[in-house]
Every structure is written in structure tokens, then in C-alpha cells.
Amino acid sequence: MRARQMEYEALLVKRSDMKQTMREHLQMIEEQQRKKDEELMQMMASSNGKKTKSTEDDAGTTKEPSGTTRTEDATNGGADA
């Protein structure tokens, strides 16, 4: 009977160790995901900052991808249209 009790206790210890290992593993995965998310957010923020600076000149007009400058007026859908 004592042998069974010892086996059972060993099983409980093993189970507890496995649970702890799984918690640590999940924490590690969550931390890795959090770092990836932060890096992505930083890349997106720096990308958006570059787009804003490169597509607007000092007057606030938007540069078309062709390099021409487009301003809003009554003839092309501006506020007075």
C-alpha cells in the first residue's frame, strides 16, 4: 500500500511540474507575441510618419504618386463644389 501512495505522490508532483512548465511556456509565447506586436506598431508608426512628410508639402497640398501637386478647388471636388 505504501508503494502505491508513493507512486501517486510522484504522479502528483510530475503533474504539478508539467503544469508549471506549461504556464512558463505560455508566458514565453505571450512575451514573444507582445514584442512582435510592439515592433509592428513601431514600424507602422514610422511608416505613417514618412508617408505624411513625403506626401504633403508646406502648403498642405497632396502630392500625387506621379510627382504632380493636386489642390482642391471648385473644379475638382473642393469645398466650394
Full pLDDT tens readout for the chain, 81 residues: 899 999 999 999 999 999 999 999 999 999 999 999 999 999 999 988 766 555 555 555 655 566 666 666 666 665 554
Q: What is the pLDDT of residue 9?
A: 96
Please tell me whether residue 70 adopts helix, strand or coil conformation.
strand
Residue numbers of the domain that contains 28 = 1-45
Q: What is the pLDDT of residue 77?
A: 61
Q: Is residue 23 part of a domain?
A: yes
Q: What is the pLDDT of residue 81?
A: 46
Residue with C-alpha cell 505560455? 26
Q: Which helix (H) or strand (E) holds 63?
A: strand 62-63
Q: Is residue 63 part of a domain?
A: no
Please tell me the total count of domains within the chain.
1
Q: What is the pLDDT of residue 27?
A: 98
Q: What angle do CA 54, 35, 20 make, to 5 degrees?
A: 170
Helix/strand/coil percentages in the chain, nearest 5:
65, 5, 25
